[in-house]
Structure 1
Amino acid sequence: MTLTSRPLPSPPARRLPALTLLLCLALSLPLAAQERTAVIGARALLEPWSDPLEALGTLRADESVTLSATVTEIVAEVNFRDGEVVEAGQLLVRLEDGEEQAQLRVTQALRDERRSAVERLTQLQNRNMAPRADVEDAQARLRQVQAEIQALEARLTNYRLRAPFDGMVGFRNVSIGALVTPGTELVTLDKLDVMKLDFSVPEVYLALLEPGLGLTARSVAFPDETFEGEVASVGSRIDPVSRSVAVRAELQNPELRLRPGMLMVVVLRRSPREAVVVPESVLIPSGDRQYVLVIDETDEYRLERREVRVGERRLGQAEILEGLAPDELVVSHGVQRAREGDRVRLLGIASDEASIREILEAQRDEGDA
């Protein structure tokens, strides 16, 4: 019988390298899974808050006047430029007044003459050399001429147009040598350091309106700016057609950028109060409820999903009535990837000093380094 040799099976030790490779791969998967989700946080802040009430208003100058001629005469001087800021009492326009000045000088000379006559008669009367009636007649004639001087001086003011208050003049529409008549408009003057803002509010809000109520106003001319003001007075009547009440507010305008006639979007700050405020981006809606992801800074940034009650909203912010305390840290960006119980990697805290863009750019620079 012939014996045939068969190859022996490979020993188990030859499979060790493959098992080791699989084990390393298995161990590496949990390490990748343990990478923390990157998020940007935001603080819940205690800030002044109010319920907004919007309206449309029109600006008016605090004081406004159109200076016109009251006599027929020729313009002798024009002492202003278009858009110039002038002071109260400053001479703006002078009309020819030579004839009136001559009449005034004649009357003043007559006053001096009659005053001397009164003095002479008074001395004679003291010596019993003139009747008392003559003295009294002379005094009456002196008072008469003094009254004429006052009348002439009052008429002369009509030939000089002065600024009645500090303000800004409008366009110059008159020239030296032009003949003006009573009613001719010579220059406009507006007091612009304080502006009046007139608008209407539905009568349902009448009980909330009172002098001193704060407001903000915006204009398309300055889209990036907000002007602060307050209610100065509330109208005494309700419009029977529109069922609204007229309100007048005052805005400070120290740089004189606001002008009469501008249309302003007014936001009244009703029910002013202190409130916990967060960015709207932190809210997670679920049905008719709202949640936030609170970052526990004492537990390695572990997340807690918490229900909150939201009040009013405005310009990307939300008022939190319940569920969140001031200074708590919540997830603002990265909400979609974060889960309750996770520990996250905080890239930064968004605020007025550090925007989302700045935080992301700083992280990118660190990664490049």
Structure 2
Amino acid sequence: MLITLLAGACGRRTPAPEAVRPVKVTTAAGAGLIDKDFAGMATPDDAVNLAFKVAGQVLDVPVAQGQSVKKGTLLAELDPRDIELQVSATRSAFEEARSQQQRMQRLLEHEAVSRQEAEAASTRYAQARSTYENTLDLLKDTRLRAPFAGVVERKYVDNFERVQAGQSILRLVNPVTTTVQFTLPETGLSLLRDSSTHFTVEFDNYRGAAIPARLKEYVETSSDASGFPVSLTLENPDPARYRISPGMSCTITMQSTDPVPDAVSLPVSAIYAPAEGGTYVWIVGAGDRVTRREVKPGELFGRDRVVIDSGVAPGEKVVTAGVYQLREGEQVRILK
């Protein structure tokens, strides 16, 4: 009998305890201010394609591409001989008209000519003077000078090449800028009108330096549906530490208040989207057991966050790792 009892005891096994899955959780909190990052680039404050107002043959372009120039520096010159001939002709006509007008004034004083003849002479004189002054201006226009200090970014013509009026000769750019530009999707356009929206800019050359910026201008149209161009002005960048040049790449962070007042923010890893459809999170409740709950996600922001417009209340514990291994009602162990 003793042997039988021992054999029966050995045959009965104690059931294994239920495995408790360890999980990481976060406490849902109000979204408040949300950050969105955009790739941007510094654009020039001052940049211009310079051209002659008159046609002619290029006599000389005495600057090299990439050369720094001061304001007023001679950048290009046309052969002035054709214009000089016009100046000589109009000067002769002007001097003749002036002499005739002076003569008519003397005769009018002695009543030797009519007032109508004197006024006609004055009109011819005024026309000749205007023509002469215009040709003098054309002579000045045969020389291009730098309107501001900058760098010659591009040269479009060579010496002795014949050019037309308005044809680009070279491009001058200010090498130091305070302007950056990025493309904003249509979902964020309304945030630009919000006074609570702020910007910071971090350049790839100056990692860790967040330079504040303010909205300069934006365009509310997008012809190619790629987004809306937005320009910012950097606020008081230290030129001794941060030399910002056109073409430098940067990351623009736009910080704004979430438009949904009751929304909360969660890591993207907390979202559970099974193959059968729907968007859910796992809520840790009483007894550390999880419950699947459907949510309405909002916009992504920052680097790994998402706004939850509805479905989660502030203060609730939400699983953030291993969401695809959980089952409804399963008990978990929260990792500290």
What band does the TM-score fall into relative to the shorter chain?
0.5 to 0.7
Partner of residue 39, structure 1: none
What is the distance in 2 between the residues matched to 1:231 and 1:267? 12
The one-letter amino acid paired with 1:188 is R
Q: Which residue of 2 aligns with 1:82?
A: 66
Q: What's the CA shift for 1:188? A: 0.9
1:232: Cα distance to partner?
Answer: 1.5
2:234 equivalent in structure 1:
251
| 1:155 aligns to 2:138 (yes or no) | yes
Q: Could you tell me which of 142, 150, 160 is aligned with 1:178?
A: 160
CA drift at 1:55: 1.0
CA gap of 1:201–1:77, structure 2 versus 1, over 3 A, is closer
Q: Which residue of 1 aligns with 2:7?
A: none
Candidates 270, 273, 286, aligned match of 2:256: 270
Task: State the shift of 1:220 in Å.
Answer: 3.0
Distance 2:224 2:85 in 1: 60
| Structure 2 contact 42–181 (Cα < 8 Å) conserved | yes
- Cα RMSD between the aligned structures? 3.9
Partner of 2:95: 112
Alpha-carbon distance change, 157 to 50 in structure 1, aligned in 2, over 3 angstroms = farther
Q: Structure 1 residue 136: deviation in Å?
A: 2.3
- Matched residues in 2 for 1:205 and 1:184: separation? 39
Q: Secondary structure at the match of 2:250?
A: strand
Aligned pairs for 1:193-208 (under 5 A) are 193-208=176-191
SS at match of 2:169: strand
Alignment CA distance shift 1:180-1:239 (3 Å): closer
Q: CA deviation at 1:123?
A: 1.4
Distance 1:103 1:266 in 2: 56
Shift of 1:151: 2.8
Helix, strand or coil for the counterpart of 1:236?
Answer: coil
Size of the aligned set, in residue pairs, is: 230
- Superimposed CA distance per residue, residues 81-139 of structure 1 (whole angstroms, 9 cap, x where no aligned partner): 7331432x443222221332243134224322321221121111111122223312322
**Deviations, residues 204-248 of structure 1 (Å, cap 9, x unaligned):** 433432487432223334445444322222432477956x54422
Instruction: Compute the displacement of 1:267 (Å).
Output: 0.8
Q: What residue is the counterpart of 2:287 in the other structure?
A: none
Assess if the C-alpha contact under 8 Å between 1:217 and 1:228 holds in 2.
yes
Can you give the 5+ residue segments of structure 2 that lack an aligned partner in the other structure? 1-31, 259-282, 285-300, 304-313, 316-336
SS at match of 1:78: coil
Distance 1:168 1:251, change over 3 A: farther
Deviation of 1:147 after TM superposition, in Å, equals 2.4
Give the secondary-structure state (helix, strand or coil) at the position aligned to 1:130. Answer: coil
Q: Which amino acid aligns with 2:212?
A: E
Asked whether the equivalents of residues 91 and 160 of structure 1 are also in contact (C-alpha less than 8 Å), the reply is yes
1:73 maps to 2:87: no
Aligned to 1:134: 117
Relative to 1, partners in 2 of residues 1:214 and 1:162: Cα closer, same or farther, differing over 3 Å? farther
- What amino acid is the match of 1:259? S
* Alpha-carbon separation, structure 2, partners of 1:165 and 1:211: 36
Change in Cα spacing, 1:251 to 1:135, as seen in structure 2 (3 Å) is same
TM-score with structure 2 length normalisation? 0.55
Question: Do the aligned partners of residues 104 and 184 (structure 1) sit closer, same or farther apart at CA in structure 2, a change above 3 Å counting?
Answer: same
Distance in 2 (alpha carbons) for counterparts of 1:313 and 1:140: 73
Contact 1:200 1:247 in 2 (8 A): yes
Output the TM-score relative to the length of structure 1.
Answer: 0.51
User: 3-state SS of the aligned residue for 2:44?
Assistant: strand
Does structure 1 residue 214 correspond to structure 2 residue 198?
Answer: yes
CA distance in 1, matches of 2:184, 2:156: 39
Q: Is the 8 A contact 1:203 1:238 kept in 2?
A: no
Question: What one-letter code is carried by the residue in structure 2 that aligns with 1:163?
Answer: A
Give the Cα–Cα distance (whole angstroms) in 2 for the partners of residues 313 and 203 of structure 1. Answer: 18
5+ residue gaps, structure 1: 1-48, 273-286, 289-311, 315-320, 323-369
In 2, Cα distance between equivalents of 1:211 and 1:170 = 38
Matched residues, percent identical?
A: 21
State the alpha-carbon separation in 2 of the partners of residues 265 and 82 from structure 1.
Answer: 27
The amino acid across from 2:70 in the alignment is V
Would the alpha carbon gap of residues 79 and 138 (structure 1) be closer, same or farther in structure 2, given more than 3 Å must change?
farther
Instruction: Give the greater-gyration-radius structure (CA).
Output: 1
